[in-house]
Amino acid sequence: MPASAAARSSAAKSSAAKGPLTLQSNSVLSQDVVTSASILVDSTSAAPVAPFTNPVSGHAEALAVVNKQICHVTRDLSNESGWRAVPLFGGTAATQVVAGIAYQATVYGFFVDGAGQLQSSMLGADGKWIKSASAALLIPFGFSMEA
């Protein structure tokens, strides 16, 4: 074997890992803050804001109780605050809101309406919210509803 080939073989053997290897990871939770003087959420609500990451755009968005209505808060760089609140379902009243993402693909929203009833909705791929007429949307979260 030529000297250079022997040197490469020796270097390869000496650089090979010995013993068990360990893997270390580091994770940091992030928090997106929506600051805007133009969007005032209901401070009397127990749950006035439900942030989520839109799986289509990758942007932080939220469902929020604004002026006692359920609203979708989205980025709007043409607005001075950078955000806009769009009332949903014809200005449906809401007292509390929560959002979640199932299977990293679908955003579900739940809110308590003005009559105290739990309502469910889903964000479509087109960016429009679909209000559910049944509790079928609760199934991915493992909820059950009894009459």
133-142 pLDDT per residue, tens? 654 445 455 5
The overall pTM is greater than 0.85 = no
Q: Do the Cβ atoms of 51 and 99 come closer than 8 Å?
A: yes
Which residue ranges make up each domain of the chain? Answer: 31-140
Q: How many CB atoms lie within 10 A of CB 92?
A: 17
Q: Do the Cβ atoms of 75 and 82 come closer than 8 Å?
A: yes
| pLDDT value at 145 more than 50 | no
pLDDT at 96: 93
* Residue 84: alpha-carbon gap to chain centroid: 17
13-46 pLDDT per residue, tens? 555 556 676 655 554 444 555 566 678 888 888 9
